[in-house]
Structure 1
């Protein structure tokens, strides 16, 4: 903690463990527990041992119920999961999942690949939990040892009917190929995703009629005629009738709305597919598209409707009652609201915990006719509608998350005991298990740099990563965040030289630094910093004023809204406008490849946008160049408009003494 150099007795830092080191289900509670237990001021700690023990027990007795409301039986598993399915969806208890996560097991595929004896020897796990894990592993292995072809109910004549695989369904949908129907063949192949070029990692999903017409070299009107003829033929296919019913049931069971990608995943799990990715998913989406086209061709009798959100397609269940007051569009628009919230949460530098994400997702009220969804289903629907991903710990994150960020957030899964080691591929696997859709980790030496930046003390020895051999070393020694509660003031005769050295170091390594000055020194310090180091100034207040005026917002309305209480609708609307319109402009201005000095930044604190400062301070997020924040404060307090400055360590804070910027005494030299 602290800067690593100052003796502990002279520090005023508070210990705040990083929440990503804990299981998301208890992260918030554990951070609060340790903050109180390790408070620097003894008056703020637990009064007695019994109080502390009670608080510790409450952390775990208050655990939420398992994410799944219904624990699938062994017979139900084939219709519910695939190898990439998170363990939360196969009915394992939180204790079982926690035990498995410690050995890097997060998905169904990870579990069934584990040796049965290894599962019996899990250290620190109760016998009841081990039994639960082994039983579920056996059931899952039995499922995946057999064919994915699922036997349906017996027919009237006593025979059994089998459900066709994805490739078989595609053959039925495509029909015979003839020269006279070359345009139809081209339309069908693209519609069903059956002509994905080799090596194409991003094939088109759900092409529009314009896309189909361009691909087939015909008009959109001709495409409409082809689709009409296709849907007439598809309606007569018995296998497709069963798939249509299956999709309707799936949508009903999942809150009345699903994304095309979700439905495709369910079809793959239920029917099986031998095609590699991305062809497998593209083809399954093609089957879903065929089902939707057939249903929509039924007009008023259609059981589903569709709604497109950029690259996401939602499928909603239409009510059977023609007099119903709701429609599938009501469900899909609600899902779109959830998607926007999920996208915002996933865009944060630190993924929100499951509890916080659910709190935000519960803000919009669902349609009154919408079936009640479990918390887990709400998270997955929001992610699907927002085009983001859900981790096995049910945290929302961006698809393609930067590898360095994924590594930092998955640091807790890289703990190895003394004498153990990890190969590069094992590191990749553990991070991939936490964030399956993140960017792949690089090899060495780039991976070494990422590990160091994330504060993960692993050393490369004998072709593997091991824990350091230095006495007292700790894998997560640098993972706590310091939040200084006392004043930060210059000390000693070398304050000017120390400020010079701190500024030069930050500029050299493209770092972040909050520069604190007295209010009276603000103007002089600003001019000195800009002149000596050639910084580009970004005046936050000026950008805010210019942006709101360009939108035609009356300035009197801004002043009146600013004076309102935080919960007042006018104040909340102003904050929303700042976040939606001003912050993107600031973010764009900060993308330049030059050192930037942020000035007059109080609106960021005033309108709840300090996450922008937090992202600048986050060492896991690459910066084009150094970023400095100039803050006027009294008494050396680390506050911006009464809000704590979100730094990752005290090394990102410095006090600038008057002697540094005053012309008669300044000694600072420009960066060369």
Structure 2
């Protein structure tokens, strides 16, 4: 197939597992490997960045290899083969850096390959096929094919089988699948080789093994193309229907056609018996219980259900248990229970489970109804599981406003008891309440440290920081958490949120309108309280919070001059080192700088551009700061990177001109991105106070994100960071005609 494309001079440009599939062709339904999605094949050869990393060859450069070539096609083939063989894509060096900026060749661990006579040959093949030097790779697709086949010559021939002599047809696969029994080997059960390989990776060896896996797990097989996943699920469904006895005719009549593909709404719909009249008390109670109708809380108790349905609590106590008995044999709900058991990870909030179900299954509901219905499905699954008594795999406990779910393994005497996990969640909730009461708001590092101090159940592995914070908040009375792993008060006062983010808002490059401002705050603190609706009230709130943004007609713009002390909510602008300051002002400035050093703060300072060099020397000497010259550091790193990539420096300089070709400008930005990695790492990890000067390139090349992160109060800095900006006599940032946005030093890149 690839040889034919090579002969025709066609480059696919996006070879990867997702674009490969076995398909049946012709009346005989003979199975062939197909390559599809040629949407990138006509992309200009000069656009070497077109494709999908890590299948995209990373070793292009603008001088020696400026155009896409056949070697890149073969590289994508090699990465695909490597992933099929090992279950992951290749890495270079330690895997922490882009392959193009390091000198290491591909890293291959022999333990990633199954022991046997072919292993050495396969490893040698990949060392050549993935070599960073194109000249060290196979020089044609035919040479590559021969090398691949040669790697397996040491393998003794296996006994001939019907499938090893002739191509397998779809009809033959169907016949084999129809004859398969529970103990039939998966390799002989009527699946394509690609499907067999995918199942062997997860240790599925027989049909029985396959049916023991949940459809949810089969839909999330790593490194497996979607057509292959569908084939596996289709066969699993076929064998379940034939080899697993039906529960009852009545329950089957209410099942949906393909439970493995059911959305949240479809499974919920199957739990309300069709024979019930929609306006009956029983139907109304079930719809409220399952979240199909609005309720005051997400997990309503019997009294709330009774009030909403207009019946007694005793009647609710009859309807729900009766319904749960009917739900037990339902395949769709059983699959949901299996999914929850598979993904619970020990202990998790009901909301976390609901979010996972929405991700894996989807929902046709919108807005708040999506989560309410997903929680209804979680509740049905967990409470039906509880009906199994001592064999129940899921336990639940209400904790204040939330429900916590824990995994129980009744057949494993060494497993952590579910009750211990629920107790652990309660302890985390109490710690989260304490964190939420702290002022200023705790950083992610502070949050993690406090929650890690909570006693773990014996034998239970630590949770990831983000999940730990979310679980703690869910089990708390007053706390909320975000995706950064920070705990904060539920319904956080908008003023406190603005005070916490004032620093990062102050270094934005462009202005924002009120809605963008609110959206930015909510992205950080989803459970923040309501903002003022009137513009003048919002302006006043920003002023009280000390946010260094200037109100304008259409929105807010950053101040040009600021020297805000960021680690304390008592900060006040402005310190200007323009000379002539009185002793009292200078003493106040020294006090602020000393406090900043002590609290590892971020300070932005402005100085008359004529005194810039003197200010650098004075600040460094007075406060013991290491000077970090961004322009000099970045320029040196760019030279080293360009040399490593064999890029002529004169080309770099030409690419920085205003009239540079778009592709050259894009290549320059890529070079800056690679070169800036070390600089940005130093900014965030250096243990000594840093005086950051000549910072224009960070703005010119869109790298201000590192300053925004450093300026954020919630960022745990290893030491103080002080940014010094040159300004005109009137206070505006020093600019040169047609120059960059923080110009003072950017000419060093020209």
TM-score by length of 2: 0.41
Q: Name which one, 1 or 2, has greater alpha-carbon Rg.
A: 2
